[in-house]
Amino acid sequence: MQLGRFQFKHRWNLTVTLLILVPLGLSLGFWQLQRAADKQAQIDMRQQHSAPQAELLQSDDSQIADMLYRQVEIHGNFDLKRQILLENQKYNGKPGYHVFTPLRIQGSDVYVLVNRGWIKQGDDRRFIPDLPGDEGPLNIQGRVENVPSVGMKLGQPGASGLVWPKRVIYVDLQWLSKETGYNLMPYVVYQTSSQEYGLIRDWRQQFQSGPRMTPEKHTGYAVQWFSLVILSLIMYVVLSFKKTSNQTGAGVDQGE
């Protein structure tokens, strides 16, 4: 290809590099834009569902998008025989557990998993601390949240079988539903009412006002990736076109 005094010289190493960088940059750029949209949707949902008054949680409130971050009141009964302890939860630098207890919603066979609070781990980790509580009927208040997030899920969250309570390394509602045979809501509730039985309910970190990485930061990363794509294309063109030299032979006539 010839453009004026510049000629395109195909170079395989540049072409292969371009074919790697462009799809990678576009993919990561659009992924960051999607992350920005998801974070903004999360912020908007928190604002929409931030009414201070608690709503009565019903057994048919199973749409997580409608319920997330709402303040709720639940009438029902705890099942203290089937509790789980989420491990590796520190409070003020001390190791402990978050105590999750199924609660059957009054007048139904639907359960919601309630985080009743933090409890200190004993000196001997082999022994599980006592997990007292009221079976009910009772009324509690709390806030609807997603299941606590983890990095990588390796294997089962805990030991299967008839031994309760179970220590788990992450909360998996599907697994717990199979273990208990209960119909569980697709979210958890962090209990905020009454500080009974020595359980600590300090949810400031869990109830943070927004995601740690803002939508604007994700958008900035997307711009960086798209800029890399544009820069790659420019460099490819600059390095692939070479200036040609027009050399014309001139004959000299000599005569007498």
Q: Is 251 exposed, middle or buried (0-12, 13-18, 19+ CB in 10 A)?
A: exposed
Domain-embedded: residue 112:
yes
Residue 250 scores a pLDDT above 50: no
The verdict on 80 and 99 lying in the same domain is yes
37-63: average pLDDT: 81
Share of the chain above pLDDT 70, in %: 88
Query: Cβ of 18: how many Cβ atoms within 10 Å?
Result: 17
What DSSP letter does each residue of 190-224 carry, written as one string? EE-S--GGG-B---TTTT-SS-SS-HHHHHHHHHH
Domain-embedded: residue 186:
yes
**Confidence band, pLDDT 50/70/90 cuts, at residue 76:** very high
Residue 2 scores a pLDDT above 60: no
Report which of residues 236 and 83 the model is more confident about: 83
The verdict on 228 and 169 lying in the same domain is no
66-79: average pLDDT: 92
Q: How many independent structural domains does the chain possess?
A: 2
The verdict on 55 and 93 lying in the same domain is yes
pLDDT recorded at residue 44: 76
The verdict on 79 and 175 lying in the same domain is yes
223-249: average pLDDT: 80
**Containing domain of residue 135, as a range?**
51-198
The residue count for the chain: 256
Q: Is 98 exposed, middle or buried (0-12, 13-18, 19+ CB in 10 A)?
A: buried
Domain-embedded: residue 233:
yes
How far apart are the C-alpha atoms of 160 and 163, rounded to whole Å? Answer: 8
pLDDT recorded at residue 98: 95
The verdict on 69 and 157 lying in the same domain is yes
157-186: average pLDDT: 92
149-170: average pLDDT: 84
* H-run or E-run covering 178: helix 173-180
Please give the mean pLDDT across all residues of the chain: 85
- pTM, rounded to two decimals: 0.70
Scan for tokens 């109830």, then name that residue. Answer: 207
**Confidence band, pLDDT 50/70/90 cuts, at residue 22:** very high
